[in-house]
A = this chain, B = another copy of it.
Amino acid sequence: MTTSTSGTRPDDARRHNRAVLLRRLHVDGPCTRATLASELGLNRSTIKAVVDGLTESGVVTEAVPTLRSGAGRPSLLVLPEPQSAVVLAVDIRVDQVAMAMVGIGGQILGRHSWNLHRTTRLAGEVITHVAESAQLLRDELAVSELGVGVSVPGVVRRRDGLVHEAPNLGWREVALGERLAAVLGRPTQVGNDAELGALAEHVRGVARDDSDLVYLSADVGVGGGVVAGGRPLRGTGGYVGELGHILVRPGGRDCFCGAQGCWETEVGEPALCRALGLPEDGPRGVLVAELRGLAAVPGRADLLLSDYAGWMAAGLVTVVNMLAPALVVLGDLFAALPPTVVDRIRDEVQRRSLVSRAIGGTRIALSPLGRDGKLVGAAELAFEPVLGTV
């Protein structure tokens, strides 16, 4: 426990300034020395010292801006050098694993993915395949990652990356963080997929200006991630809450978790298939195409998805009343819902939620990151410790 700040040394200050400046470039992109100075509240000579240091280590380059404003010598533009600090992002989904090498600044340098089936979904298989693919990406791109971030659709202990349970993968008590760190030889962070979806929206998506947001996504299951006061919300032992398992329908369908009528059983992918008269385990592509088609026929969409919208709204009222977010972001499959259905959900939440009214209306938006959301979040998870050390 630090009880005094009197021990701060110049070295600490320099390291701190360097990390803050790098984070600014990483999140918001290239900008001039002058902008850095004013945004970070540091004087020009401090900025110069930090930028010179970073240029020397090849982490940033400087360039004369092409658009010059005013007369006189232009302020140099500082650009992060993507190849200089790279992380590996891994998004393990129920039907697919997607991997990418991501450079500082958020650029995807190269990617690789493969489909999962009942037999290739075993934890050991996935770990081996990730290790092989990582080596291929390293060779192909001639980069070496500084750290690894992994997204998993399950209950994860953040401290050591233990996957307590990932029901739709059939995983239980898998020491994923430790096992991947061992085969990859890099520091490895594992996070719940919805928490990483929320992080992605906060850093690079629709929630960049919001410090209180909830991200919800439907894949096979339903997951949610929460940012409160600008920080990810976690509970005991770093566990993230399971928003898909709030109870919305007493006496509803049995859920794998041992309860009945969980939100997930009422609004997850199978529920959406049932509402549209599609087989529950058909290909995702068919479902998305059906939703796109329905968007063109609002009356029919509203009719078919009337009950579905009601259950979506019921869960959202609970979430909004409990957490008072300014923004709810709907990701993954939810982002494919027809606009009129989303409008209806929005209206119902506003009408039924005391807290939404109190805070002047919780916005409900669709994720702009598409299927990459959790991959982007996994990269940011990996970057967090890295930015302080390069």
Contact = CB atoms under 8 A, between A and B. Distances in A.
B259 A353 contact: yes
A306 interface: no
A258 B1 CA distance: 47
A324 B317 CA distance: 19
Given A237-B359, A242-B322, A259 B352 contact: yes
How many copies of the polypeptide does the oligomer hold? 2
A246 B322 contact: yes
A174 interface: no
Interface string A220-235: 0000000011010111
Contact of A358 (B231, B239, B325, B326): B239
B228 A324 contact: no
Contact of A324 (B4, B236, B355): B236
A354 B353 CA distance: 26
Contacts of A354: 155, 165, 242, 245, 257-259
Interface of A: 1-6, 8, 10, 12-13, 16-17, 20, 40-42, 46, 155, 164-165, 212, 228-229, 231, 233-237, 239-243, 245-250, 257-259, 314, 317-319, 321-326, 351-355, 358-359, 362
26 contacts: A4-B13, A4-B16, A4-B17, A4-B41, A5-B13, A8-B8, A164-B358, A228-B235, A235-B323, A235-B359, A236-B324, A236-B362, A237-B324, A239-B355, A242-B321, A242-B354, A243-B321, A243-B322, A245-B317, A245-B354, A246-B317, A257-B353, A258-B352, A259-B317, A318-B318, A319-B322
